[in-house]
Chain A
Amino acid sequence: MRILFNEIRKLFSVKIICLLLLVSFIVYQQFIMFEFKYFPNGRPLLDDFRATQKMLVDYGKSMDNEEFEDFKEIKEQRIAEATEYLKSQKEMVAAGIDTYEEFSNMDLENEKLAALHSKIFFEDSVDIFWEIQARDGIIDRYEHPERFNEHELTPKQNARMDELVENGSTKAIFTDMVFDNYNCLIKYVAILIFLNIMIIHMPLYIRDKRNHVQLLQYTSKTGRKLFSQKLLTGISAAMIVITAQLAFFFFMYRGNDTSMFFPLPINSIFNFFVSWYDLTFFQYIVLTVICIFLLGLALVLVGAWVSSVAPNYMTSVGLHVPLAFLLFGSGTTYLVQNLTTIYLNPYLLPISFVIILILSSLLFMWRYRREKLKNI
């Protein structure tokens, strides 16, 4: 236990912690903050988000037909309000546009009318007009729940789509904005976490090798055990980093104010993403977190192996380059983002995790057995 503690202290030296903070800061600034700052991004999306929030308050988790009628009625009210607004605008009346009907059918080729149109939307940015647009979008999606062309899907996928309609999860009030935002964020957070793990684990074995203390250590039985002890250290360090990073991320994510969406099923028609399983948004988040932990574990095993075979830091970093390329690219796309999507085989996810974990452990075990008997 004391060895473990001391080893962890060695990994988290002040220099390394500063480096990690620096890397995290720059990655947050470059890639992550944008999704926090501009959520929802732009005008019709903001109104869409507000309308969805209002739906949640008024109708609860899902919207049945009766509530949908009510929703449409609110839109009619808004149209009436918009007409009122148009009537109160002198230039609009002068241009012969005094109902919303006429406004929406306006001839935008006509420069003068186009100017009036953009004045309402962009200069005065009148909320009602944006809201009507957003509500139109929602109504359109509710009335046309078929998201994909049937012919493009396999029978199994079609069966899944039918099942979703039957069990009513399509009618849940969820929104793709929240989902896409999270999906995008979690990729960068995962990349940042993996980057941190790589930086921390680089010197795991190399440092002792370079300092030639292995000569001392390996002459005793406890010293030989150090190899597995160090792996344990690596795993604990990785868990600390992942937990800290995720904690910070979710603390920041609270600012997006999406907690009311947590208990809702993600397979709603208002979301483009379809999963093989009936997950709620919260369950989906938990799933991504589990995947990050598992991938982090595999990365520690591979990183430890690299650190134990590489004669110097150059080789170690060099070996990490293709690894990072794979992990940050397709690794996060398939194993952190869009989990259990209907487009991929449902068994792909568990099978790839099993394979990755087995292979990385075998790699490490092979090294471990050799290290135990190594002549120095």
Chain B
Amino acid sequence: MIKRLEFKKIISSPIILGLFVLFLLFNCFLIYQQSNLRHDMKSLQPIVQETGTLMDEEGRQKLQTSYEQDLNTWNKLTQSKTGDTYQTAAEFYKPELYYSLIESNIYSKEELQDINKLAIKETYVNSIQEIETKYNELNVMENAEEGIRLFGLKGAAAEKVREQYAVLKPRVEELVQNKEHLHLFFHGKMFGTHSFLFKTLFGFMLFQAMILIVLFTAFIVNYEFEHRTALVTYATKRGRRLMWDKLLVSTFASTLVTVALLAITLSVYFIVFDYSGLWNVPISTGFLIELNKIPFISWWNVTFIQYLFMSCGLVVICQILFVLITFCLSMLIRNSYIVFTLFGVIFLAGLYMPSIMPKDSTMLLYTHFSPFILVMNVKKWWMESGVFTTFKFYEVITVTGWLIALLLTAWFFIKRFAKENI
């Protein structure tokens, strides 16, 4: 009963609902901006249906023959129309020929779509070889050295980084052996789906949920003080235990808000962009590599759908951490907007911490184990993620460590509050 009423305080405030809707609209707008890619992305599904996603010798052969067939069909058409033939589909788009062809209206709309599809297919065909050589030559130890040099790490810190990359090395060998890198997926250099989904969209959702959560947690924890009901409610023993209820309700509400935000936004995303047939592609596939040419090396062999759910789960847990941080702050400060501001200050301070650490101490690496740094880099969760955060269980350690510490702190504050003079 009490919990239900506490929950009502959150739900019945128009600002939470209003902001929630506003955030959703904003996310839809982001997806809408990206949606012009959907048609080009769709041309992957027919390929996958024909050849499967795995591009081993067999799959590659299939793709190659299918591509050559298509090119032949196209060349027959062009020969009858203009007398030209093309070695590759990309040749069609050479500017000196392309514009005159378009202006003279030789090809119908459908035919232009066909050549576009063929060109995309060609990109996939051409990428396979590139990916294979890249992964065969890939040496993560070199990447580690590069990172160490770039950030000027020394001594114990550099050693620790080398240690971690040495653990990563067998995983890369395993990845290549499993042929995880040779699965067809939306071409990263053309579409950048991974960055859009896991950086832009997840990044915004994390911050949106965080804003809502910090707002309502600070609000309900200090509700009795702000509404001058504190003297009544906290006069009894049960009243003092109200803080437990408030904490539980905020945690529950935060999960609800986060799940709702994730569910609605992601449903819109996957309705707009068709991922059918690609759910079970390993997340470490080389096709995901984007313009910065950094490969995605996950610590485990996980598929896209597993990765998506793992990330969603971690988002929810991160939000619980934020509930706990806000709760502890609210127990110290009885003013909700100062709590909000202080939370922002703590967040920025968390990001700032590593830069004041000496470059040769392992503390530099350990200061990266904070939820604030964690949420800034969703794109590289569960993966090789640069020299500072490449630990096999980085995400798990960060989250559990902070969860335990914050739970203890919260428990301490509640205990203290039970005996506090008001």
A314 and B348 contacting across the interface, CB-CB below 8 Å: no
In the complex, A30→B350 CA distance in Å?
Answer: 11
B215 and A314 contacting across the interface, CB-CB below 8 Å: yes
Number of interface residues of A (CB under 8 A): 22
B31 to chain A, nearest CB (A): 18
B348 and A30 contacting across the interface, CB-CB below 8 Å: yes
Residues of A within 8 A of B28 (CB): none
Q: Contacts A30-B351, A319-B15 given: A314-B336 contact, CB under 8 Å?
A: yes
A302 to chain B, nearest CB (A): 16
Within 8 A of A (CB), among B197-248: 211, 215-216, 218-219, 226
Which residue from chain B places its CB closest to the CB of A319 in the assembled complex? B15
Within 8 A of A (CB), among B341-379: 341-342, 344-345, 348-349, 351-352
A30 and B215 contacting across the interface, CB-CB below 8 Å: no
Which residue from chain A places its CB closest to the CB of B219 in the assembled complex? A314
Q: Contacts A202-B337, A313-B219, A313-B226 given: A318-B345 contact, CB under 8 Å?
A: no
Residues of B within 8 A of A321 (CB): 19, 211
Which residue from chain B places its CB closest to the CB of A16 in the assembled complex? B338
B215 and A22 contacting across the interface, CB-CB below 8 Å: no
Contact check: which of A23, A30, A203 meets B337 at CB < 8 Å?
Answer: A203
Q: Contacts A26-B348, A26-B352 given: A210-B211 contact, CB under 8 Å?
A: no
A313 and B337 contacting across the interface, CB-CB below 8 Å: yes
Within 8 A of B (CB), among A279-311: none
Q: Contacts A29-B352, A30-B352, A321-B19 given: A314-B216 contact, CB under 8 Å?
A: yes
- CB of B16 within 8 Å of the partner chain: yes
- CB of A315 within 8 Å of the partner chain: yes
- CB of B335 within 8 Å of the partner chain: yes
- CB of B13 within 8 Å of the partner chain: yes
A312 and B219 contacting across the interface, CB-CB below 8 Å: yes
Which residue from chain A places its CB closest to the CB of B351 in the assembled complex? A30
In the complex, A30→B336 CA distance in Å?
Answer: 25
B338 and A314 contacting across the interface, CB-CB below 8 Å: no
Residues of B within 8 A of A322 (CB): 19, 22
Interface string of B1-28 (1 = CB under 8 A from A): 0000000000001111011001000000
- CB of B340 within 8 Å of the partner chain: yes
In the complex, A203→B341 CA distance in Å?
Answer: 13
In the complex, A199→B342 CA distance in Å?
Answer: 11
Within 8 A of A (CB), among B287-340: 335-338, 340
Residues of A within 8 A of B219 (CB): 312-314
Residues of A within 8 A of B351 (CB): 30
Residues of B within 8 A of A319 (CB): 15
Residues of A within 8 A of B211 (CB): 321
In the complex, A166→B345 CA distance in Å?
Answer: 51
- CB of A239 within 8 Å of the partner chain: no
A19, A312, A314 interface centre (most CB from chain B within 10 Å): A314
B118 to chain A, nearest CB (A): 33
Spell out B's residues near A (CB within 8 Å): 13-16, 18-19, 22, 211, 215-216, 218-219, 226, 335-338, 340-342, 344-345, 348-349, 351-352
14 A-B pairs with C-beta separation under 8 A: A19-B341, A23-B345, A30-B348, A202-B337, A312-B226, A313-B337, A313-B340, A314-B218, A315-B15, A317-B215, A318-B16, A318-B215, A321-B19, A322-B22
Spell out A's residues near B (CB within 8 Å): 15, 19, 22-23, 26-27, 29-30, 199, 202-203, 210, 312-319, 321-322
Beyond known contacts A23-B341, A313-B335, A315-B13: 20 more, CB 8 A cutoff: A15-B338, A19-B341, A22-B342, A22-B345, A23-B344, A26-B345, A26-B352, A30-B351, A199-B337, A202-B337, A313-B340, A314-B218, A314-B219, A315-B14, A315-B15, A316-B337, A317-B215, A318-B215, A322-B19, A322-B22
Nearest 10 Cβ contacts at the A-B interface: A318-B15, A314-B219, A313-B337, A315-B15, A313-B336, A26-B348, A202-B337, A317-B340, A314-B215, A317-B337
